[in-house]
Amino acid sequence: MQIESDCVLKFLEVVAARIKEQRDYLTELDAAIGDADHGVNLDRGFSAVMSKLPTLTGRDIGSILRTVGTTLVSTVGGASGPLYGTAFIRAGAAAADRFQLDPYEFVVVLEAALRGIETRGKATRGEKTMLDAIAPFVETLKAGVEANEDPLIALRKAVAACEEGMRATIPMLATKGRASYLGERSIGHQDPGATSAYLMARAMLDVVEERNAE
Amino acid sequence: MKKLINAPENIVREALAGMAAAHPDLLRVHVDPDYIARADAPVRGKVALVSGGGSGHEPLHGGFVGDGMLDAACPGAIFTSPVPDQMLAAARAVHGDAGILFIVKNYTGDVMNFELAAELAAAEGIPVASVVTNDDVAVRDSLYTAGRRGVGVTVLVEKIAGAAARAGADLATCQRIAEKVNAQGRSMGMALTSCTVPHVGRPTFDLPDDQMEIGIGIHGEPGRTRQQLASAAAIAELLARPILEDLPFQRGDQVLAFVNGMGGTPLIELYVMYHELSKILAGEGITISRSLVGNYITSLEMAGCSFTLLKLDEELTRLWDAPVLTPALRWGI
């Protein structure tokens, strides 16, 4: 499994399309514990990313991811703008000048994104945030790759862990972001950030599987 | 949804165009990145105050741009914090070589975006200090949470720190005064109805006719408790007591009493609430020496109100009384 520049571009296209599809669902999740704008904001950001995509064809993975990050920071707003923005910018720095990533390098890039979100959000796992989906995703993939598992199988397991992490936010008490203002009333709702993170992980798997089938 | 809009995606830009047309003497609007700056910015040698946040809280913050208050405001999408590009562009536009004070409400998104903007401004050699308002006693404050929300006190910080900047205070002094206002102010709000976010098209939460939300936020985030609708007097108790206990406010204190409407409550009801608040304070031996009643930090068309009390001293009273000329707050000029 090699991740190439055009695979990253395809991933972005799929993410943008899925976010658009799931816009109202994400917003609905956010209305329960936040301020009803998560889907709308991400859709605005990824629509802006889509408009920049033609200028990114043929560029290295680092440049592509950095552009995505700065575009998200500049257009999304809220907490998800700086969080996803920082993730893509850090991932871009880790993939600087690379046109292709092997599974080990892919893990390094994802870890950089994860650290970026942790640092920007001053959050850790268990606080009912996107980290609860992203951290198990990255950690499971890393464990699989380090154990020399077939990379595609490792990615499938990672996405399953991501989905499980997303569902695990339902019973959690929020202590970060606007949901924290609800205290106990945040319990029982799936976190919208964890949900959008899962959408992205799932898109990654679908794109890689499709490439593999070709 | 019944609203006076053309299309939800255009509402902020069209409102900005309307503000520019209505107040050409006071402010100028810049689009992409969006910000509102006072018409005569930059004012040389004066600390510039920049605030911002999601739209939907009008007149906050754009309505407070002008002489004696904010130099610029950055409106985000409805209920969504603005992005660093906006704050950076606003900072460049209003920087009068005395530095910039960012006034930020304590919401994760606002804090992160203003933090990024402060880093970018500092990299350009623009000195930036920040104050984060967190006056909402409805939210439990602890090391393990994002902390309290910034609500009504934000208006008072903008006015009072704005007066200090106008009087020639330096950046550190403006920041100290802003922090003092935040430290001495407490708020709590409630809702009778939900608001409807234009791009969502239906009420953010369902609230039966006989129920109310206590401890509401300004983004339609549900409050901490829902209870049976009560009289104005009983609601005033529910809002005032947690505020009084929190600082705590004490017998002999002089306060600024601020009764704020959430956008959908008529002024007659806000005055009823002010009357109830003044009786409670009189009973506690607390003197209201300054007051503010009206819709200043709203939540679209949500019905409801919030109380803010600010403990006053000579310095804060003098700065509150200083002249101000903005679309939404003006006296003495």
Q: HEC profile for chain B?
A: CCCCCCCHHHHHHHHHHHHHHHCCCCEEEECCCCEEEECCCCCCCCCEEEEEEEECCCCCCHHHECECCECEEEEEEECCCCCHHHHHHHHHHHCCCCCEEEEEECCHHHHHHHHHHHHHHHHCCCCEEEEEECCECCCCCCCCCCCCCCCCHHHHHHHHHHHHHHCCCCHHHHHHHHHHHHHHEEEEEEECCCCECCCCCCECCCCCCCEEEECCCCCCCCCCEEEECCCHHHHHHHHHHHHHHHCCCCCCCEEEEEEEECECCCHHHHHHHHHHHHHHHHHCCCEEEEEEEECCCCCCCECEEEEEEEECCHHHHHHHHCCEECCCCEECC
A33 CB neighbours in chain B (<8 A) are 221
DSSP character at residue A178: G
Instruction: Identify which of A174-188, B170-184, B200-214 has the greatest average pLDDT.
Output: B170-184
Q: Which pLDDT value is given to residue A48?
A: 97
CA-closest candidate to residue B310, choices B331, B281, B333: B281
Q: Which pLDDT value is given to residue B223?
A: 73
Q: Which pLDDT value is given to residue A124?
A: 93
The most distant pair of C-alpha atoms in chain A lies apart, rounded to whole Å, by 49
Q: Catalytic residue at B275?
A: no
Which of B77, B205, B224 comes nearest A77 by C-beta?
B77
Q: How far apart are CA A107 and CA A150, in angstroms?
A: 14
Please check whether residue A46 is in contact with residue A19, taking contact to mean a CB–CB distance below 8 angstroms: yes
A183 CB neighbours in chain B (<8 A) are 139-140, 224
Predicted ipTM of the assembly: 0.89
Q: How confident is the model over B120-145, as a mean pLDDT?
A: 88
pLDDT at residue A136 tops 90: yes
- Considering the candidates B23, B30, B57, B61, report the single residue annotated as catalytic: B57
| Across A84-93, B209-218, B312-321, least confident range | B209-218
pLDDT at residue B224 tops 80: no
| Cα–chain center distance at A119 | 15
Helix axes A5-21, A38-56, angle to 10 degrees: 150
In whole angstroms, how far apart are CA B193 and each of A106, A145, B190, B229? 49, 53, 9, 11
B79 CB neighbours in chain A (<8 A) are 35-37
Token pair for A139: 């950690």
| Across A10-14, B96-100, B202-206, least confident range | B202-206
Is there a contact between A41 and B217 if contact means CB atoms under 8 Å apart? no
Q: Which pLDDT value is given to residue A31?
A: 85
DSSP character at residue A172: P
- Closest residue of B to A173, CA-based? B145
Q: Which pLDDT value is given to residue B50?
A: 98
- Closest residue of B to A45, CA-based? B83
Task: List B51's β-bridge partners, or say none.
Answer: B73, B103
Q: Which pLDDT value is given to residue B145?
A: 66
Q: How far apart are CA B305 and CA A144, in angstroms?
A: 54
Testing the interface with B: which of A20, A29, A37, A189 to mutate, by most B Cβ within 10 A? A37
- pLDDT higher for B145 or A158? A158
pLDDT band with cut points at 50, 70 and 90 for residue B121: very high
In whole angstroms, how far apart are CA A3 and each of A10, A51, A148, B37, B166? 11, 23, 17, 46, 57
pLDDT at residue B102 tops 70: yes
In whole angstroms, how far apart are CA B130 and each of B37, B187, B239? 18, 21, 29
CA-closest candidate to residue A72, choices B50, B113, B123: B113
Q: How confident is the model over B44-70, as a mean pLDDT?
A: 98
Length of chain B: 333
What does the mean pLDDT of chain A come to? 95
pLDDT band with cut points at 50, 70 and 90 for residue B268: very high
Q: Which pLDDT value is given to residue A177?
A: 86
CA-closest candidate to residue B183, choices B244, B229, B247: B247
B135 backbone φψ class: left, alpha, beta (φ>0; ψ -120 to 50): alpha
What does the mean pLDDT of chain B come to? 95
Q: Which pLDDT value is given to residue B146?
A: 80
Which of B83, B220, B224 comes nearest A35 by C-beta?
B220
Please check whether residue B19 is in contact with residue B29, taking contact to mean a CB–CB distance below 8 angstroms: yes
Q: Which tens digit of pLDDT belongs to each residue from A181-208?
A: 888 889 999 999 999 999 999 999 999 9
pLDDT at residue A11 tops 90: yes
How close does chain B come to A123, measured CA to CA in Å?
A: 10
pLDDT at residue B271 tops 70: yes
pLDDT at residue A123 tops 70: yes
How many other CB atoms sit within 10 Å of the CB of residue A14? 18
Q: How confident is the model over B227-253, as a mean pLDDT?
A: 97
Please check whether residue B84 is in contact with residue B202, taking contact to mean a CB–CB distance below 8 angstroms: no
Q: How far apart are CA B331 and CA B325, in angstroms?
A: 7
Q: Which tens digit of pLDDT belongs to each residue from A54-96?
A: 999 999 999 999 999 999 999 999 999 999 999 999 999 999 9
- Closest residue of A to B78, CA-based? A37
How close does chain A come to B123, measured CA to CA in Å?
A: 17
Please check whether residue A62 is in contact with residue A89, taking contact to mean a CB–CB distance below 8 angstroms: no
Can you give the pTM of this predicted structure?
Answer: 0.93
Q: Catalytic residue at B199?
A: no
Is there a contact between A177 and B108 if contact means CB atoms under 8 Å apart? yes
What b/e sequence results for A82-114 when a residue is b if at least 16 CB atoms lie within 10 Å of its CB, and e otherwise?
A: bbbbbbbbbbbbbbeebeebebebbbebbbbbb
Please check whether residue B110 is in contact with residue B84, taking contact to mean a CB–CB distance below 8 angstroms: no
pLDDT band with cut points at 50, 70 and 90 for residue B221: confident
Q: Which pLDDT value is given to residue B142?
A: 60
Q: Which pLDDT value is given to residue B139?
A: 84
Please check whether residue B199 is in contact with residue B8, taking contact to mean a CB–CB distance below 8 angstroms: yes
Which of A74, A83, A177 comes nearest B83 by C-beta?
A74
B219 CB neighbours in chain A (<8 A) are 34-35, 178
Task: List B52's β-bridge partners, or say none.
Answer: B74
| Cα–chain center distance at B166 | 19
Please check whether residue A189 is in contact with residue A154, taking contact to mean a CB–CB distance below 8 angstroms: no
Q: Which pLDDT value is given to residue B220?
A: 74
Q: Which pLDDT value is given to residue B259?
A: 98
A182 CB neighbours in chain B (<8 A) are 221-222, 224
Please check whether residue A139 is in contact with residue A190, taking contact to mean a CB–CB distance below 8 angstroms: no
Q: How confident is the model over A138-151, as a mean pLDDT?
A: 97
Which of B83, B197, B221 comes nearest A178 by C-beta?
B221
Helix axes A80-94, A192-213, angle to 10 degrees: 40
